[in-house]
Copies of this chain bind each other. A is one copy, B any other.
Amino acid sequence: MHALGSRAEGLGSDVRYIPGGEGQIALSIDVSVEGVHFRRDWLSPEEIGWRATASALSDLAAGGAACIGALVALTTPAREPEATFVALMRGVDAALESAGGVVLGGDLSRGDAMAVAVTVVGRGTGAISRRGARAGDGLWVTGELGGSRAALAAWIDGRTPDPAARERFARPVPRLIEGRWLADHGATAMIDLSDGLGADAGHLAAASELALHLELREVPVHPAARVAAEAGSQRPAIFAAWGGEDYELLAAMPPGFTGTTEFELTRIGEFAPGNGVTFTLDGRPVQPGGYDHFA
């Protein structure tokens, strides 16, 4: 079990214990499968491990929780050299370390395709979910969107992605610090951007039983997404809004919130009574256009 990484404390015992404590324990599971969530010719084993873990940690971020660690079930083909899963676990380990966490447990199996199931464990107040936004709340987003889609678009076209775009796809950074900051500063609802702004804004509005209006002019667009969009004669904001897997956070903040933060945070919409999500770009209605991984 040494292959589970240098930070894999306490393995070798079947069950791992963590102290209960006063708050709430946050839990989430995410599975990444070769050919569905990643391709071996796009990502190194280390990046596959990082990305699977970061994607799960992003759920903790959206819950306003701090990371304790993760349990990892790894399936690799029998023909695969041990070096592959050592590298993959190094990526898991690095993503956890960056979040202040450790490997809490693991299981290895052979299987036809490579797959990584990550259960993240954190600690929080339990007060934040995708439900809870109120009419009049602003919709805010961290970071810049569309970088991951720009990388994907390049690979699908058989081109080498822009390095900054590739980094967004291969090594997304879960917004754990930002998530806790937003939770501490009055966020009423939060979700992470895995399906893309267009889709995830809909999840937030539906869970909160409200209507939501987004003005796409305000969407912060990753520079590589701007280049990719313009190369394809698309509007950058639309390219970025219907991207996916940016792992930024989308938060509902009370009306008086000003957005003065030490990280990038942009107001892009507002909740209202009713239901459904509407989009405008420079005030003109835009039809939603979805995104479904690279299936």
Contacts and interface: CB of A to CB of B under 8 A. Distances in A.
For chain A, the bracket of interface size reads: 35 or more
Contact of A25 (B17, B22, B63, B110): B17
A35 B16 CA distance: 28
Contact of A17 (B13, B15, B73, B124): B124
Nearest to A106: B29
A215 interface: no
B27 A104 contact: yes
Among A14, A121, A131, which residue has the most Cβ atoms of chain B within 10 A?
Answer: A14
Interface string A100-142: 0000111111111101010101111010011100000000000
B110 A33 contact: yes
Contacts of A75: 31, 33, 115
Contacts of A14: 28, 59, 62-63, 129-130, 191-192
Contact of A71 (B13, B19, B37, B119): B119
B19 A112 contact: no
A1 interface: no
A24 interface: yes
Interface string A2-37: 000000000011111111111111111111111111
Interface in A29-84: 29-37, 59-60, 62-63, 65, 71-75
A149 B19 CA distance: 38
B37 A109 contact: yes
Interface in A225-257: none
Given A13-B207, A34-B111, A115-B115, 6 more contacts: A15-B65, A20-B20, A20-B24, A27-B105, A28-B71, A29-B117
